[in-house]
Amino acid sequence: MNKVHFQDLGLIDYKEAWDFQEKLFKFNVDAKISNRKEEKELIPTKSHLLFCEHPHVYTLGKSGDESHLLLSEGLLKQKGATYYKINRGGDITYHGPGQIVGYPILDLEFFFTDIHKYLRFLEEMVILTLAEYGIKGERSDGFTGVWIDTDNPLKARKICALGVRCSRWVTMHGFAFNINTDLDYFNNIVPCGISDKQVTSLEKELNKKIDVNEVKQKLKKHFVRLFEAELV
């Protein structure tokens, strides 16, 4: 069973968390490059799972369209939000308090070398967690992430966004699961570049505040089972 080092970083500035991810990611990528070149003792890679929340921030993936941010720099400041162009896949999304952000930094060569399977496992972790709250989470054809009511185009709404980076089978970035999130902040973007679908949260679906730590425990439980991992 693969060991995955778990840390809950709490509420942390986006750039600070991104720099920390990059440090862990770089260690693994550099170790793998070195292990292929050198005829000496191998440097073991380390897999990590980070949970956190961010202050209000918009992030644009490398394939994203800047016009999907609907705020000027001045209005961003008024909203108390920051904006970063980053190196994950996908378009624009929002992170903020009341949202669980998960960053798995995994060496997939110890799990499976299939990025599509990896994305489906992250979705499944959220789908299984939603099921524990009596909500049917689903995948939507052509889109990553977890959705509700996908069979009704007028009601389909996204509850969890995904965007990852992978190099030499090492992953970074991850998922953003709306729990008690202020959904008004999504009105300032075209979320994930999708203009005709809504965004929702667990709080909105259940019409009550949710214990975020309880959700984290459920996510960890399903992560361990899906990835056949041990959190340390």
CA pair distance 54, 16, nearest whole angstrom: 10
Strand 92-95's sheet: what is its strand order? Answer: 82-85, 57-60, 92-95
Dihedral of alpha carbons 25, 27, 30, 34, sign: negative
CA 7 to chain CA mean position, Å: 15
- For tokens 């966004």, name the residue: 161
CA pair distance 95, 86, nearest whole angstrom: 13
CA pair distance 142, 128, nearest whole angstrom: 21
Residue 52 falls in the annotated catalytic set: no
Tell which phi-psi region holds residue 42, choosing left (phi > 0), alpha (psi between -120 and 50) or beta: beta
* Residues taking part in catalysis: 192
